């Protein structure tokens, strides 16, 4: 037999109750002072940052070790051509003829190019590296062809023009993968903050309700002020930890030599993605805090938070799918304007095809309005549930009493 929720005895209201944003600031300072410099926050942030810093170093960075090709004085011309053709994919260094075999045996070089009695020879320990082999083969063939053309009185440049590679015509769209991954990375960062900090926020709301601490707090401030202060504090905490961990990751990649190059990324994309990140966190955390006020038991909390978790996870999945599978379709354009979905899809659309400025402004306005509506909705649920005890509060009743 289930018992219906009952309303607790009204707590006397202080006539000097703080009004407006003053109450929000009081709650924000209280939440930050009790959580920002705590042992739990510092320890968890330190562990995450240490793992992010050590991960790239333990994995050896993002760049594979380049093969090294040595050459003796007689093979300098061919080795120089190999180095020019290979660029950064191969390292070319000179070695004396007497040390050629020892250098390969000791592992200092993957191969050494020498001038043999009948032509170029390559000294290797067991087998020739595929990259070096391909470069040597193509470069030697090109050099032999040039020498033959010069001997026959043919201009090598004319011969090269006649054997020019065919032009490549790409039928698909030129997707800037780096920019798309940056955009989706911001969306994933929002989900990470919601999961790591939104759930503890919901647990805190439920515990304050069960312990009836909230009744004391609401004698001085209004429910929406308490909710707003908690959501803002959670956003600050989550973003602080996210920035520190990402900084440690970048430092680890830089030390390991695997830091990705972002020269082609438009900084306007970063600015819009940051705004979308902030709006997504506020929207989802507000809903989680409001829904958590409906329950009193830990086992009921996960089911109560499912709508808010769906608001965070499903749009992220949709953004990834639309960016890579429907990049040339109107669905990506539509997703960038739909409430809730747009904060995850709009950065990906900007990376894929760009957006007119008026559409960016309109989408951000829709996202801000969505965050405001979500907060109002969560505030009504919170106000209609947080002072009721005796069981789970139905969503309709919470909205009616809020």
Reported as a single tens digit per residue, the pLDDT across 17-40 is: 677 788 889 999 999 988 888 888
Question: Is 50's pLDDT higher than 50?
Answer: yes
**How high is the pLDDT of residue 364?**
95
Query: What residues does each domain of the chain span?
Result: 21-56+174-401, 68-144
Which among 80-94, 175-189, 307-321 has the top mean pLDDT? 307-321
- Among 124-128, 206-210, 395-399, which is the least confidently predicted range? 124-128
Helix/strand/coil percent split, the chain, to 5? 65, 5, 25
Structure tokens that stand for 327 in this block? 């990049």
| Contacts of 62 by beta carbon, 8 Å cutoff, 6+ apart | 56, 253, 256, 257, 258, 259, 260
The closest alpha carbon to 141, from 71, 68, 85, belongs to: 85
Residue bearing the bigger pLDDT, 51 or 261:
51
Q: What is the 3-state secondary structure (H, E, C) of 30-94?
A: HHHHHHCCCHHHHHHHHHHHHHHHHHHHHHCCCCCCCCEEEECHHHHHHHHHHHHHHHHHCEEEE
What's the average model confidence in pLDDT over 295-313?
Answer: 91
pTM for the whole structure: 0.71
CA angle 26, 283, 287 (to 5 degrees): 80
Q: What's the pLDDT band for 342 if we cut at 50, 70, 90?
A: very high
- List of residues 6+ apart from 95 with CB closer than 8 A: 70, 71, 72, 103, 109, 112
Q: Please state, in angstroms and as integers, the Cα–Cα distance from residue 10 to each residue in 214, 290, 322, following that order.
A: 12, 20, 50
**Per-residue confidence (pLDDT) for residue 308, from 0 to 100:** 92
Tell which wins on pLDDT, 67 or 290. Answer: 290
Which CATH architecture fits 68-144?
A: 3-Layer(aba) Sandwich (3.40)
Question: What are the pLDDT digits (tens) for 245-276?
Answer: 988 888 887 787 666 666 667 788 889 999 99
**CA quadruple 142, 146, 148, 154: dihedral positive or negative?**
positive
When the pLDDT of each residue in the chain is averaged and rounded to a whole number, the result is: 82
The position carrying tokens 């201009």 is 155
- Classified as helix, coil or strand, 260 is coil
Share of the chain above pLDDT 90, in %: 32
Could you give phi then psi for residue 27, rounded to 5 degrees? -65, -40
Higher pLDDT, 369 or 163: 369
CA geometry: angle 359, 365, 369, nearest 5 deg: 145
Q: Give residue 136's pLDDT.
A: 76
7: pLDDT strictly greater than 60: no
| Of residues 188, 229, 278, the one with CA closest to residue 31 | 229
CA distance 294 to 297: 10
Confidence of residue 62 (pLDDT cuts 50, 70, 90): very low
- What's the CA gap between 87 and 80, in Å, rounded? 11
**H or E segment to which residue 388 belongs:** strand 388-389
How sure is the predictor about 103, in pLDDT bands with cuts at 50, 70 and 90? confident
What local confidence, expressed as pLDDT, does residue 52 receive? Answer: 84
Band (pLDDT 50/70/90 cuts) for residue 10 is: very low
pLDDT tens by residue, 168-188: 444 445 567 888 888 999 999
Give the per-residue pLDDT at 171: 47
Which whole number is the average pLDDT over 106-124? 80
For 127-153, give the secondary structure using H, E and C. CCCHHHHHHHHHHHHHHHHHHHHHHCC
Between CA 132 and CA 154 the distance in angstroms is: 30
Cα-Cα-Cα-Cα torsion 122, 128, 134, 138, nearest 10 degrees, comes to: 10
Residue 149 in this model has a pLDDT that exceeds 70: no
């Amino acid at each position: 037999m289930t018992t219906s929720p009952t309303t607790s005895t009204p707590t006397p209201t202080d006539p000097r109750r703080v009004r407006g944003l003053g109450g929000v600031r009081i709650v924000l300072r209280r939440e930050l002072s009790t959580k920002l410099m705590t042992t739990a926050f510092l320890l968890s942030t330190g562990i995450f940052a240490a793992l992010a810093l050590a991960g790239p170093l333990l994995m050896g960075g993002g760049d594979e070790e380049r093969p090294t090709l040595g050459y003796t004085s007689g093979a300098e011309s061919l080795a120089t051509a190999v180095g020019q053709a290979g660029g950064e994919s191969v390292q070319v260094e000179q070695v004396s003829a007497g040390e050629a075999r020892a250098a390969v045996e000791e592992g200092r070089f993957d191969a050494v190019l020498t001038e043999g009695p009948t032509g170029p020879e390559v000294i290797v320990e067991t087998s020739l590296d595929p990259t070096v082999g391909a470069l040597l083969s193509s470069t030697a063939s090109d050099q032999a062809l040039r020498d033959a053309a010069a001997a026959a009185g043919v201009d090598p440049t004319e011969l090269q023009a006649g054997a020019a590679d065919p032009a490549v015509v790409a039928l698909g769209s030129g997707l800037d993968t780096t920019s798309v991954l940056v955009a989706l990375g911001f969306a994933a960062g929002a989900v990470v903050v919601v999961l790591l900090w939104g759930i503890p926020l919901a647990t805190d709301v439920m515990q304050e309700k069960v312990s009836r601490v909230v009744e004391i707090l609401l004698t001085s401030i209004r429910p929406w002020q308490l909710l707003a202060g908690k959501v803002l504090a959670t956003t600050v905490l989550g973003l602080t930890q996210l920035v520190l961990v990402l900084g440690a990751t970048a430092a680890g990649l830089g030390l390991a030599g695997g830091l990705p190059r972002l020269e082609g990324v438009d900084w306007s994309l970063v600015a819009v993605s940051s705004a979308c990140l902030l709006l997504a966190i506020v929207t989802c955390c507000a809903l989680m805090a409001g829904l958590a006020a409906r329950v009193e038991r830990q086992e009921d909390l996960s089911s109560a938070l499912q709508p808010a978790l769906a608001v965070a996870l499903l749009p992220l999945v949709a953004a990834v799918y639309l960016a890579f599978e429907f990049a040339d379709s109107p669905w990506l354009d539509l997703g960038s304007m739909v409430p809730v979905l747009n904060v995850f899809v709009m950065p990906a659309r900007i990376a894929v095809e760009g957006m007119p400025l008026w559409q960016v402004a309109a989408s951000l306005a829709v996202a801000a309005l969505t965050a405001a509506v979500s907060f109002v909705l969560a505030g009504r649920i919170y106000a209609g549930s947080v002072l009721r005890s005796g069981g789970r509060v139905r969503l309709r009743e919470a909205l009616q009493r809020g």
